[in-house]
Amino acid sequence: MKLFVLVLLVALGVYLYIRAQRLAREEEAEEARAAKLAADNENTINTSAASSVGASDVIASGVGVSEVSANEVSAREVSMSIANIEAHLEASNEAKLQDLQAQEQGGKLAGQVQLTDPSLQALVSEVMGATLNDAYPRLCGLIKRCYKARKQAQVLSQSLALSRWHNELLVLTDTPSGHAFKHLATLLADAGHIDAAIEVCDRALALGLNDGTATGFSGRKQRLQQARPS
């Protein structure tokens, strides 16, 4: 983050330096035009010394106004750039705080997942020790393994805990997995948690995900609703 801010400040400094150089060149050109105009007037019009002094004062006054305007524009641009940097930092810090809170909550929920299969419990540990970027993909891998082992009653008993953990880590990804939602819905349904499985389908539909089947999550939800105990 500090490196990013430093890069922004350096870029800002370079931009202002280039702009100051351009304004200086424009001012020099304006002064040259004013000097040429004064020379032409001196050659064609024989004015009094007082009139010449008055004209010079007017020209000098015009250059001064130009310099003040340039300084005011540069000051406004600096103020806007600083405001943009501060806004970016605030948004970045807020996102980082949310990620840390999600990671902390995810760690608490991970403690609720207890799998007797050593290989599956090892995957739980891998998710807990993963970076923010890797945590969600690793959890999806764990859910897939549990889906394949759903014939084990102990695995099905952890379906609700897995679903809660998945919900918490969703905030860490921009690419939620439709297959993870499908596997969770199946695990929950096989464990008898029909309403929870339907909620998984609803969330997948809200995210615009597909489970890879012909009817998608809409058809899956409909079948789950039909399977509800009357």
Mean pLDDT to the nearest integer, 108-135: 85
- Give me 106's structure tokens: 């995810």
- Which amino acid makes up residue 31? E
> Which of 70-74, 127-131, 193-197 has the highest mean predicted lDDT (pLDDT)?
193-197
Per DSSP, the three-state class of 153 is helix
pLDDT at 10 over 50: yes
CA distance 86 to 32: 41
Q: Which fold has domain 111-226?
A: 1.25.40
- Give me 83's structure tokens: 């405001």
pLDDT tens, position by position, 128-146: 999 988 999 999 999 999 9
CA distance 168 to 166: 5
Domain ranges (residues) in the chain: 2-99, 111-226
Task: Confirm if 136 and 173 have CB atoms less than 8 A apart.
Answer: yes
